[in-house]
Every structure is written in C-alpha cells, then in structure tokens.
C-alpha cells in the first residue's frame, strides 16, 4: 500500500460485506512485526492499535514511524488506531503524529456529555481524514488504567445508539453488549438480541471490544450483526509473554534478546492468524481498498 490509511472505509466495506477486521494491540516492535507478517502472509487487511499506556511508554512518533514502515513494506491495507483514550489533547497529539484512527472514550460520562466530547473529537479528526470510534455503555474489565467493575458495566441502549450516531456523526461505534476486557472467567454473556437491534438501527460499523477468549461461534454472530472490528489485546500479550517465559525456564542465563523475541514473535503471529480466521477477514485485503 505504501502508507497508513484511515480505517473508516475499511470498516464500512467489512460491515457491508459481512466480515470483521481484527485490530491488534501491540506493545513492542516484535509484536507489531508479528501481526503485520500474519496479515501480509494471508493477504488480510489490518488495524494496528496501541493503548494510551503504550503511547506513553514508547511515544507516538516511534509507534507511527514503525507502523508507517510496515505499511511501506506491505501490500495490504493497514490502519493505526489509538485505543480507549479519554484525553482530548493526547488524541490531537496522536493525530498530528500520524495515527489514522482514534477512539474517544467518554462512556464514563452522562449520555449528553459523551455526545459533546465525542463531537469535539469528530470535528478535529474528520478534518484530518482520521477515523473516529466512540463507546456507548461501559465495557467491563481493565484496559490500561481504565477499570470498570462488573456491576458498573452498563449495556448500550439500542435507541440511544442510533441517536448518538446521528448527533455526533461518529463513523464507528463500540456499543457495550456484555463483553469484557481481559480473559473471561466463564463464557461471556453477550446480549445478542440487543446487538441485533443496535445493528438494525445504525448503518455505521460496530466494534467488538474484549475480543480475547470469545468463542468462535459468538464472534461469528457478532460479525453477522455489524461488528466490523474485533479488538484483541490480552491474549496477544499472554502468547508473547509465555513464549519468553518458556525460553527462560529452559535457559535462565539467556541474555540475547533475539533468542527469546523470535519465539515470542512466532507465537503472536500464529495467534493473530487464528483470530483473523475467526473474524472472517483472511484474504480480504482487496475487498477494503
């Protein structure tokens, strides 16, 4: 492709054609390379994501530079997304650095305030040709420093979703439907009936948060009801870390990062391919251009 693209048209095409695009939270260069290689080898469109914590850890310029290099060396469409950001100034900083998609998460505020904060971001991001994602309801679990207790995880109201999209002009929406960030203690209880009503009421692509550990059959149902983007974070981190732990368990004196980063990268790559398969986006690179 040569450059990073906005995910707006990617996701709209995915919703229209009934598949989901996997969005992977990466924290190191090796993790980024792993998911890019997985996508390139399978001819799959890709969304790279970073949390606010990772942006603060690495710096947006370093992240954008690595993602732009990946786009230049790849033949697939790649977008770079800022996940779950509550800070307007950081969103602007990431847009200036070259992010092609941002999430304004104002879901912890009352509905009207969520609308006004989202509209502020839509104004600046749309002018820059950047995709915007907003959240309605609250997705449970932990995402960096945002902790939502289970009893506080509020499901999105279908009528509110339609009104919210209309009021804000937001091109992608993450409605809370019972999924959670992190690894599930039991099987997730997804409110499919509610999701179906949200899907019927809005034309924008929907986003599935908490995609780690959702059974394949449930993922496919979510995609069927307009979930055009599936976020995967925790499972990727676990695969990466477990591969490194295994190297040190076998050789505690290992001191060459290449010796443990290569197996870690391979583990992430294998997992990424299985998630792409689940979302139905393998081989769809040409479908979203």
Residue 76 has pLDDT above 80, yes or no: yes
Alpha-carbon distance 77 to 240, whole Å? 24
Closest-CA residue to 45 (of 15, 18, 23, 64): 23
Q: Does the pLDDT value for residue 182 go beyond 50?
A: yes
Q: Is 16 a residue of the active site? A: no
What is the sign, positive or negative, of the torsion defined by CA atoms of 162, 47, 17, 235? Answer: negative
Say which of 16, 83, 145, 152 is annotated catalytic. 83
- Residue 134 pLDDT exceeds 80: yes
Quote the strand ranges of 218-285, DSSP E.
Answer: 227-232
pTM over 0.85: yes
CA atoms of 286 and 280, how far apart (whole Å): 14
Tell me, rounded to whole angstroms, the distance of Cα 163 from its chain centroid.
Answer: 24
pLDDT, tens only, 97-113: 999 999 999 999 999 99
First to last CA, the chain: 9
pLDDT at 148 > cutoff 50: no
Does the pLDDT at position 143 exceed 80? Answer: no
The sign one gets for the Cα dihedral 147, 81, 19, 17 is: positive
206-208 vs 141-143, strand pairing mode:
unpaired
Say whether pLDDT at 179 is over 50.
yes
Check: CB of residue 134 under 8 Å from CB of residue 205.
no
């Amino acid at each position: 492709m040569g450059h990073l693209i906005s995910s707006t048209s990617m996701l709209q095409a995915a919703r229209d054609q009934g598949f989901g695009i996997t969005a992977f939270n990466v924290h190191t260069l090796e993790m980024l390379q792993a998911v890019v290689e997985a996508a390139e080898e399978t001819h799959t469109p890709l969304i790279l994501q970073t949390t606010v914590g990772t942006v603060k850890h690495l710096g947006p310029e370093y992240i954008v530079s690595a993602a732009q290099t990946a786009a230049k060396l790849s033949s697939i469409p790649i977008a770079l997304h800022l996940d779950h950001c509550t800070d307007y100034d950081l969103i602007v900083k990431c847009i200036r650095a070259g992010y092609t998609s941002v999430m304004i998460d104002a879901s912890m505020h009352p509905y009207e305030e969520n609308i006004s904060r989202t509209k502020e971001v839509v104004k600046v991001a749309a002018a820059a040709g950047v995709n915007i994602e907003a959240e309605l309801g609250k997705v449970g679990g932990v995402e960096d420093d945002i902790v939502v207790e289970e009893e506080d995880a509020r499901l999105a109201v279908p009528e509110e979703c339609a009104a919210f999209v209309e009021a804000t002009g937001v091109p992608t929406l993450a409605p809370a439907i019972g999924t959670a960030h992190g690894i599930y203690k039991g099987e997730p209880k997804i409110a499919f009936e509610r999701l179906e009503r949200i899907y019927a009421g809005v034309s924008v692509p929907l986003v599935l948060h908490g995609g780690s550990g959702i059974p394949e059959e449930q993922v496919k149902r979510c995609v069927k009801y307009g979930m055009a983007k599936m976020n995967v974070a925790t499972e990727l981190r676990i695969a990466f870390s477990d591969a490194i732990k295994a190297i040190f368990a076998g050789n505690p004196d290992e001191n060459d990062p290449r010796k443990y980063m290569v197996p870690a990268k391979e583990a992430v790559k294998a997992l990424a391919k299985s998630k792409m398969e689940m979302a139905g986006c393998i081989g769809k690179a040409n479908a979203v251009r």
